Amino acid sequence: MKVLFIGPTLPDAARVAPGLDIRPPAIQGDLYRAVRDGAAAIGLVDGGFEYTAPVWHKEILYALSEGVAVFGAASMGALRAAECRAFGMVGVGTIAQAYADGTLVDDADVAQLHAPAELGWVSLTEPLVNILATLQQPDLPASLTPDLCNRIEAAARQLYFKERTWRAIADRVALPDITLRKRLEAELKACARNKKREDALLLVAAMKAHDVGRSHERPDWVFQETTLWRDLVDRENAKLLMF
């Protein structure tokens, strides 16, 4: 079984990732349950982080210690892949690589507001990584000059991630009238690049190509069952007995 935790980054995951066990954005305890359920491979893309306890690094280490292949990309998965790469988690795509090499350092660079699953995970803001990928394209319209792109990037970086929309960015760029700002917004939307989606699709491909079961080789480090870890296991096992 291959388990993929995903939501707003790839709303059509059920269509583009057939054969994978699609689960909603991961929160603390979800990766432990996936291992308990028999997963041989886990893909982490999206995860809760503001109003819920996020995926715990300890869960990833537990999965790896049990021979489960763990892939991360695009969003929360890219962050955890960079943080746990020394232990064997595999980062997929340029966003994960950027966090691994220190080009990206801020968690908020991949964060975005979105609608709930019931409304199709519709994006309400633009993550900074997508904005940067858009501005770095070689075939931008001539009107998007290097100087203007620098001003757009600066405006985007000044915005809190919950306020980072193309309109808000265009409004912060020093243009003389509203007509030019609306034209800029339209141009940016027309050439927008969804880098998070691209990396998520790479992760899906990597998971599909991983056709082996759990590894029988053990890592060169020892998983430590701390008191906090036992607390999590006890909570999750208690939930299991309730159903």
Three-state SS sequence of 49-79: CCCCCCCCHHHHHHHHHCCCEEEEECCHHHH
Query: How deeply is 91 buried, as exposed, middle or buried, from its count of CB atoms within 10 A (0-12, 13-18, 19+)?
Result: buried
pLDDT of 77: 98
3-class secondary-structure state, position 227: helix
pLDDT at 243: 57
Measuring CA to CA, which residue among 53, 77, 96 is closest to residue 3? Answer: 77
Is residue 229 situated within a structural domain? no
If asked whether residues 56 and 130 sit together in one domain, one would say no
Q: Is residue 226 part of a domain?
A: no
Does residue 76 sit in the same domain as residue 128? no
In a domain, 242, yes or no: no
- The pLDDT value given to residue 72: 98
Same domain flag for 81 and 200: yes
Q: Structural domain tally of the chain? A: 2
Whole-angstrom distance, CA of residue 127 vs CA of residue 129: 5
Which residue among 148, 170, 190 closes a domain?
A: 190
Distance linking the first and last C-alpha atoms of the chain: 22
**What whole-number distance in Å separates Cα of residue 165 and Cα of residue 55?**
27
* No. of helices (H) and no. of strands (E), the chain: 11, 5
Q: Are residues 206 and 101 in the same domain?
A: yes
Q: Are 94 and 161 in the same domain?
A: no
Whether 202 and 186 share a structural domain: no
Q: For residue 232, is it within any domain? A: no
What confidence score (pLDDT) does residue 239 get?
82
User: Edge-to-edge strand order for the sheet containing 21-23?
Assistant: 21-23, 2-5, 41-44, 69-73, 90-92
Q: State residue 216's pLDDT score.
A: 87
The answer to whether residue 209 is domain-embedded is yes
Residue 97 shares a structural domain with residue 56: yes
44 and 147, same domain (yes or no): no
Strands 90-92 and 69-73: parallel
φ and ψ at 20, to 5 degrees? -95, 150
**Is 236 among the domain residues?**
no
pTM: 0.93
pLDDT of residue 242: 66
Instruction: Match 């491909």 to its residue by tokens.
Output: 205
* End position of a domain, from candidates 173, 190, 207: 190
Per-residue model confidence (pLDDT) at position 184: 94
In a domain, 34, yes or no: yes
Same domain, 90 and 207: yes
Q: Do 19 and 98 sit in the same domain of this protein? A: yes
Mean pLDDT by 10 residues, the chain (243 residues): 97 95 96 96 95 93 97 98 97 98 95 94 96 96 94 96 96 88 94 97 96 88 94 88 65
pLDDT for the residue 49: 87
**152, 174 contact by CB (below 8 A):** no
Tokens of 13: 């995951």
| Residue at 48 is within a domain | yes
Together in a domain, 29 and 101: yes
**Which residues contact residue 192 at a Cβ distance below 8 angstroms, ignoring those fewer than 6 apart?**
126, 130, 134, 166
Same domain, 7 and 101: yes
Domain span at residue 155? 117-190
